[in-house]
Amino acid sequence: MVKRPQSQVVSINEVAKLAGVSITTVSRVINKFPTVKEKNRQKVLEAIKKLNYHPSPVAQRLATGRTNVISLVMPRYEGIFYSFYALELIKSIGNMCSVLKLDLLLRLVDGASPLNLRGIGGVIFADIIGNRNQVLQALEEKVPVVVINNFVQDLEVNCVAIDNFGGGKEATKYLIQLGHRRIAHIAGDVVTQAAALRLEGYKEALKENNIEIKEDYIFKTDYSRAKARQAAEKILNLQPAPSAIFVASDTMALEVMAVALEMGRQLPRDLSLVGFDDNPVSLYGPVALTTVRQPLIKMGEEAVKRLNTLMSGKEMTVEKIVLPTELVIRESCQRV
């Protein structure tokens, strides 16, 4: 037998010829149709093995009427590829796609333009920030959709969110339990549901413990270190200054820590600090940061698994999942 050059691709026609069956039968075997006779199925499998035939993914998708391509739609913002949140989501979603043999297409959007959904089997929206119309478009076109990092109450859409309200409340309650009464909050961008709910959790903890909510103790930012620095400088110059601060992200909390040290404050003796994320960098500051761990990896994995189920057509019910957070106590807080 003449040896085939490695660069030469085996065609489905050659498999059919060797097995002595039609091309349609080969296609049905590849795509696991149950109607193929066992004798013919064995012939095709032997021919595939002998010829070292690898089916074209595109051909398989055309044959089954399905596509294994999922689109991850993320709001575009400056520094996205330096963001712990974004990188954890991309990593977890990419890994689970690999496990389930799905192809991942990353799209960074501004929300203004319609999405091109041709050839897309399903969409994961990483939050809904100015791109609600894109979510509605996908739903109208009957494309399977899962939204993450946003508990969507007013749409019949699958979502996987994090208990940001509970996380914010737990962080603030911990500071109250240590005896703090002057507790400030540096919020993220409250356009995002996550930041808004962390702020609400902070307020609820104060209300439940009969502590006055002072508006001059609350600073809303855009999650950047620059805005966190500005907020920290204002907060630490207040009279009386807060004895504790709950910050909506670890990167911002580390900037607050730097400002406090520059101003001669000792942590945690003069200031207790709690962050949010459990970013690994929070371990390596001047003081290991107490923080709220949010399960970003689990959120990404659950979203892909849910979307894969929807794409298979096995289940069409809408499921809304909220994942719990966890307070991680380190060295940046102290009893009053």
Residue 1 resides in a domain: no
Residue 332 resides in a domain: no
d(CA 322, CA 150): 9
Per DSSP (E only), the strands in 65-156 are: 69-75, 103-109, 122-126, 145-148
Are 176 and 225 part of one and the same domain?
A: yes
Overall domain count for the chain: 3
Are 265 and 185 part of one and the same domain?
A: yes
Residue 290 resides in a domain: yes
Residues 6+ apart with CB under 8 A from 283: 289, 330
pLDDT at 57: 56
CATH number of the domain bearing residue 103:
3.40.50.2300
Backbone angles phi, psi at 259, to 5 degrees: -65, -45
Residue 335's identity, in one-letter code, is R
Residues of the chain with pLDDT under 50: 1-3, 5-7, 62
For every residue of 297-314, DSSP letters joined together read HHHHHHHHHHHHHHHHTS
Residue 88 resides in a domain: yes
Our CA angle for 234, 237, 243, nearest 5°, is 100
CB 271 within 8 A of CB 297: no
Are 288 and 168 part of one and the same domain?
A: yes
Whose tokens are 């049905």? That residue is 28
Q: Which of 40, 64, 88 is the last residue of a domain?
A: 64
CB-facing half-sphere around the CA of 83: CA atoms within 13 A: 17
Are 38 and 113 part of one and the same domain?
A: no
Are 43 and 147 part of one and the same domain?
A: no
Per DSSP (E only), the strands in the chain are: 69-75, 103-109, 122-126, 145-148, 158-162, 183-187, 218-220, 244-247, 272-274, 291-293, 320-323, 326-328
279 burial level (CB within 10 Å; 0-12, 13-18, 19+): buried
Beta bridge partners of 74: 108
Residue 310's identity, in one-letter code, is L
Are 142 and 226 part of one and the same domain?
A: no
Are 185 and 263 part of one and the same domain?
A: yes
Residue 336 resides in a domain: no
pLDDT at 2: 43
Are 223 and 139 part of one and the same domain?
A: no
Are 168 and 238 part of one and the same domain?
A: yes
Q: Which helix (H) or strand (E) holds 17?
A: helix 12-19
Instruction: Tell me the pTM.
Output: 0.80
CB 134 within 8 A of CB 73: yes
Residue pLDDT, tens place only, 47-80:
999 988 877 655 555 455 557 899 999 988 777 7
Are 152 and 222 part of one and the same domain?
A: no
CB 171 within 8 A of CB 292: yes
pLDDT at 1: 43
Residue 196 resides in a domain: yes
| Structural domain span for residue 81 | 69-163+296-324
Residue 2 resides in a domain: no
CATH number of the domain bearing residue 20:
1.10.260.40
Which of 78, 99, 283, 320 lies closest to 86, judged by CA? Answer: 78
d(CA 100, CA 171): 36
Residue 107 resides in a domain: yes
Are 249 and 287 part of one and the same domain?
A: yes
Are 230 and 266 part of one and the same domain?
A: yes
Q: How far is CA 129 from CA 92, 148, 152, 298, in A?
A: 21, 12, 12, 21
Backbone angles phi, psi at 127, to 5 degrees: 80, 170
